[in-house]
Structure formats: C-alpha cells, structure tokens
Amino acid sequence: MNQVTEDAIKTLLQQINYPGYDDNIISFGIVKSIKIQEKRITVELKFNTDDQDKKSQVKKNIQEVLSSEIPDRKIMVIEGLPTLTPPGPPQPSQDPWAGRAPIPGVKSIIAVASGKGGVGKSTVSTNLAIALAQEGLKIGLLDSDIYGPSIHIMMGVDERPRISEAQKLLPIEKFEIKMMSMGFLLDKDTPVIWRGPLVNKAIEQFLRDVDWGELDTLVIDLPPGTGDVQLSLIQKVPMTGAIVVTTPQEVALVDARRGHQMFQKLNLHSFGIVENMSYYINNASGEKVYIFGQGGGARAAEELGIPFLGEIPIEPEIAEGGDAGVPIVAKNPESAASVAFKEIARKLIAAGLLERVAG
C-alpha cells in the first residue's frame, strides 16, 4: 500500500464480510476506530454479539487482510480500547512532575499496584512485562518490594548483577527484559531488617544507580498497600500511570478503590483495573466458571471512572510457572491467561498510554 490512511484501511476492511451475512464489517458498524501509529495499526471493534466464534473469525480475517497488505506494520485488532479521563489539571502546588527527576533513557514508567496483598501484582507485572516485550517494546522491570521481593523467583534468576565501569548496577536480562530486584542482591536467608530511610535509599538506588539503558517502559512492581514506600516511590519519579490489580472479592475491590484514591491524590493516571483470578475454565465443558461472582472489577472501574483492562483466569500453570521461574506468557503463550495478558499489553500500547515521555 502506498499511503496508509484511515480511508485506505477502511477500503481493505470492506472486503471482509460479517460471518453469515453478505454485508461487510464496515457497513455492519462494528469497526469503532482505526488508529495509525508509526509501527502499528490498531482496529478497534465493538460487537453486538457474544458469539465468540464470529468474533474470532472477524478478528482473524482483519489480521490476515491487513498483514498481507501492510506487512511493515504490526496489526492489532482489539475490542474495547481504554480511554482515559485525566485525573484533573494539576494544581501548581501539586504538579505531579514537579521535583521528580526523570530517569535518562527511560521513556515511560508504569506502576503495578494493589491495595491488598497477594492478589497477583507480581504475576501481572512479570507477565505484562514479557507481553509488552513480545510486542517489540524495550522493557525494564523493577521489583520495588524491598522486604518481600519475588521477581527473582518468578523470573527464575539465580545470579547476581554485575557492576559496570561507570559503577552502575547492571540489570539482569531474561525473557527480553531488563530486571532489578532486591532478591538478586540478598542471600536466600538474609533477613531484611532495614528501616524506612534505608528502604527509601534502596529504591532511590534502584531508580538512579541501575544502568537501565534505553527503555520504552519501566514496569514497577509495587509492594502491597498504600503506605509510605508506595508514596515515596511515586513521588521520586515522574510516573506515566498506574495499573491497579484486584481479585473479584469485595474486600479486594474496596482496597482497589483505596489504591485508586491514592493515585488521584498524587495526581497520577490510573490506567485501569486488571481483575486477576476472575474465573477458571471447566476442562470438560470449556465453560468459564466465575467462582467469586462476575463483573466486580469492571463495576469498580466504572464507578471510579477508569478503564477496565481485562480479566485473568485462575490457571494452575500460572502458580507453577511463578514457582518454576518461567512466567506463563513465556511458557505457554496460547493459554487463556497468556492471551488475556497479551490483550492487556496491546490495549495499553494501542491506547497510547505508554507514550508519555518522562521529563
């Protein structure tokens, strides 16, 4: 194709009929938006059906037609792109960017947070980081849980970072991402008995004294809660935004709201809510079983006026992968959970949420 324009793409999409009909998908009205970026084209769809077969048929057809006509760009077909309402104009006294030094070479920084512990932040951080890297982005992953690091276990890293000539700590590279965690530096049995000021110092060093190089996005796995560590971390660097992880139970949802409120106070974008452990798939019937009730995360997102980014199923392979040091997105990219993680990664990219340049 000579020139990639919205009209040219629409013309291509008119070749695709809606399954079972003579009408094409454009006249059917399911193509909600077309977004053209330097390296990718995103087609956003809005279906009036729940028929999964029809949906995947349409997505597959779009993927095929556009990839063959426009081979030099990545094609993303997405249902429901998140849109952001800004957290409000910054007050001069609380400009979120004031007093925060960017990390040179790092274009955007996102935090993965939760009000409640154990809901799957580290699982989401690791898998999302790998999924973003698989989309071609240069990704860093920082485990900011100084007291209870877990990234080293989940990523299967058993080596110590080296020091560069410039006396910087070199991140460990695996699964195409660069990582740093207190777990790389401590012996297995060392108790972490540091107090507040030292924790602050450690985080400061992880941000400033690590040779992160050029990154599109640094993903920061936050410790659980909305306490001092989280606050001081968020105040130290110009964050692009945060993702709140929750599980469907009401207790977790209440804490997720609290997490969002913390970001609001700090004038930080909430990119949206990820609901983890939403359902499991009944192996015999293939049905989704929502043991904790369906739609809690989505309702909380709606109530808070922030996007709902997606549901991650409960899969034994996620826990096994976490323990064995190979996250599911790397180990079994076809699993329902991996597909869900990849969809969230694509939504973040396609919505342009990772593009804010620090500084």
Ligand X SMILES: Nc1ncnc2c1ncn2[C@@H]1O[C@H](COP(=O)(O)OP(=O)(O)OP(=O)(O)O)[C@@H](O)[C@H]1O
Interface with ligand X (CB under 6 A): 114, 117-123, 145, 148, 150, 224, 276-277, 312, 314-315, 318-319, 322, 337
Euclidean distance between CA atoms 329 and 135, whole angstroms: 12
Residue closer to ligand X by CB (options 120, 171) is: 120
Please report how close the Cβ of residue 48 comes to ligand X at its closest, in angstroms: 30
Write the interaction track for Mg ion spanning residues 69-108; mark x where CB under 5 A is met and - where it is not: ----------------------------------------
Q: For the beta carbon of residue 316, count every other beta carbon within 10 angstroms.
A: 8
Euclidean distance between CA atoms 13 and 32, whole angstroms: 12
Three-class secondary structure of residue 10 per DSSP: helix
What six digits make up the tokens of 30? 């399911």
Please report how close the Cβ of residue 121 comes to Mg ion at its closest, in angstroms: 5
**CA neighbor of 224 nearest in space, from 328, 144, 329, 109:** 144
The interface partner of residue 141, options being Mg ion, ligand X, none and the CB cut-off 5 to 8 Å by kind, is none
- In contact, 103 and 212? CB cutoff 8 Å: yes
Q: Which amino acid is at 17?
A: N
Give the binding range for Mg ion (CB under 5 A) out of 32-40, 115-123, 190-198, 317-325.
115-123
Euclidean distance between CA atoms 139 and 141, whole angstroms: 7
Residue closer to ligand X by CB (options 134, 150) is: 150
Cβ-proximal residue to Mg ion, closest one: 122
The interface partner of residue 119, options being Mg ion, ligand X, none and the CB cut-off 5 to 8 Å by kind, is ligand X
Write the interaction track for Mg ion spanning residues 140-179; mark x where CB under 5 A is met and - where it is not: ----------x-----------------------------
The interface partner of residue 312, options being ligand X, Mg ion, none and the CB cut-off 5 to 8 Å by kind, is ligand X
What six digits make up the tokens of 333? 């990219």
What six digits make up the tokens of 141? 């992953």
